[in-house]
């Protein structure tokens, strides 16, 4: 009887852990900064304690904010063949039934991709330029001069330049499933909007692994009993010229709904750093 009571008490403490941890140390909402932090401030206040933030007005000086229109991208990149992820429902790198499924990686002229994104050509699939491993410098070097090669305060805070800089552009239907990166991330939104739903590390014991680990990113929790013990995820919204820093210890669900003019699309720039044997994306 005593052992059973002790076990119930332990279970009760564990069940209360996510809520109490948030009260003690995790923010209920993601803080917004109106200016880029200094390298010391960024590392001390956000990277080291593993806390997320959104930094507004961070890339106002980038020419890309004004130059990256559909007409400009067609003129500069145009017929060049690039790598495009193609999925039937917008969920790339996700679990489907009992399989982890990767998108089809299709080689196609960039102007054909823009035709699909702009709905000039109809397709039942979802197309997304999302290749990593520094696709901006490898596949889109024509666009490098429109952005900075790195985020200076990030590079100084981490003590090195980025290993990779990635360019992502796609339709609003593309969604990132629940996942955890092994990187510190900075996402720079050039055009449109980006939404994050974040679970702090204290939620981890109640987030079941496969097949739920890569559950579709929705505002409502998956219908699984473990999730009933969690508070709502922490949400973050990024507009144009904003930078997001979701820490490595957080579970992330990401939905991007971005546009240029009337077109629903997304343009996201991401850098990758290595730091203390861990990669850091910004």
Indicate the Cα dihedral angle 200, 206, 210, 216, nearest 10°.
-60
Instruction: Measure the CA–CA gap between 108 and 81, rounded to whole angstroms.
Output: 5
Choose the weakest-confidence range: 42-46, 73-77, 85-89, 99-103.
99-103
Work out the number of other CB atoms within 10 angstroms of the CB of residue 133.
Answer: 11
Token representation of residue 4: 């059973």
What tens digit of pLDDT does each residue of 160-187 get? Answer: 888 778 899 987 788 777 777 776 678 8
Instruction: Measure the CA–CA gap between 128 and 266, rounded to whole angstroms.
Output: 9
Report the alpha-carbon angle 56-132-135, nearest 5: 90
pLDDT-based confidence at 214, cuts 50/70/90?
very low
Closest by CA position to 172, among listed 213, 223, 127, 226: 127
Token representation of residue 54: 């959104």
- Highest mean pLDDT among 97-101, 131-135, 222-226 belongs to 131-135
pLDDT-based confidence at 208, cuts 50/70/90?
low
> What confidence score (pLDDT) does residue 62 get?
93
Q: Are strands 263-264 and 243-245 parallel, antiparallel or unpaired?
A: unpaired
Closest by CA position to 163, among listed 252, 282, 260: 282
Q: What's the mean pLDDT in 17-41? A: 83
Instruction: Measure the CA–CA gap between 121 and 209, rounded to whole angstroms.
Output: 39
Q: Are strands 278-281 and 183-184 parallel, antiparallel or unpaired?
A: parallel
Q: Quick check: 252 pLDDT over 70?
A: no
> What confidence score (pLDDT) does residue 238 get?
72
What tens digit of pLDDT does each residue of 215-241 get? Answer: 443 333 444 455 455 566 677 777 777
Instruction: Measure the CA–CA gap between 249 and 222, rounded to whole angstroms.
Output: 20
pLDDT-based confidence at 22, cuts 50/70/90?
confident
| Residue environment code for 93-129, b if the CB has 16+ CB neighbours within 10 A, otherwise e | ebbeeeeeeebeeeeeebebbbbbbbeeeeeebbbbb
Q: Quick check: 265 pLDDT over 50?
A: no
pLDDT-based confidence at 268, cuts 50/70/90?
low
DSSP state of 221: P
Of the chain, the percentage scoring pLDDT greater than 90 comes to 29
Q: Distances in Å between the alpha carbon of 56 and those of 2, 35, 102?
A: 55, 6, 33
Contact indicator for 251, 52 with CB cutoff of 8 Å: no
Contact indicator for 253, 171 with CB cutoff of 8 Å: no
């Amino acid at each position: 009887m005593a052992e059973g009571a002790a076990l119930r008490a332990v279970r009760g403490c564990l069940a209360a852990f996510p809520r109490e941890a948030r009260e003690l140390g995790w923010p209920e909402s993601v803080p917004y900064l109106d200016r880029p932090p200094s390298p010391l401030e960024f590392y001390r206040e956000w990277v080291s304690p593993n806390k997320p933030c959104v930094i507004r007005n961070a890339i106002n000086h980038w020419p890309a904010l004004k130059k990256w229109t559909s007409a400009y991208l067609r003129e500069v990149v145009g017929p060049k063949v690039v790598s495009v992820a193609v999925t039937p429902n917008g969920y790339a790198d996700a679990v489907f039934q009992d399989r982890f499924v990767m998108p089809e990686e299709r080689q196609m002229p960039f102007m054909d991709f823009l035709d699909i994104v702009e709905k000039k050509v109809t397709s039942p699939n979802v197309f997304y330029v999302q290749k990593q491993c520094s696709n901006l410098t490898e596949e889109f070097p024509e666009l490098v001069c429109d952005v900075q090669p790195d985020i200076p305060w990030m590079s100084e805070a981490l003590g090195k330049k980025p290993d990779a800089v990635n360019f992502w552009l796609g339709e609003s239907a593309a969604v990132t499933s629940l996942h955890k990166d092994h990187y510190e991330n900075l996402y720079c939104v050039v055009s449109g909007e980006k939404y994050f739903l974040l679970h702090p590390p204290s939620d981890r014991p109640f987030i079941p692994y496969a097949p739920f680990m890569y559950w579709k990113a929705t505002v409502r929790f998956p219908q699984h009993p473990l999730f009933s013990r969690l508070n709502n995820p922490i949400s973050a919204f990024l507009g144009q010229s904003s930078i997001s820093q979701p820490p490595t210890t957080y579970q992330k669900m990401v939905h991007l709904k971005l546009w240029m003019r009337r077109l629903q699309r997304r343009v996201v720039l991401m850098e990758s750093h290595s730091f203390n044997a861990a990669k850091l994306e910004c």
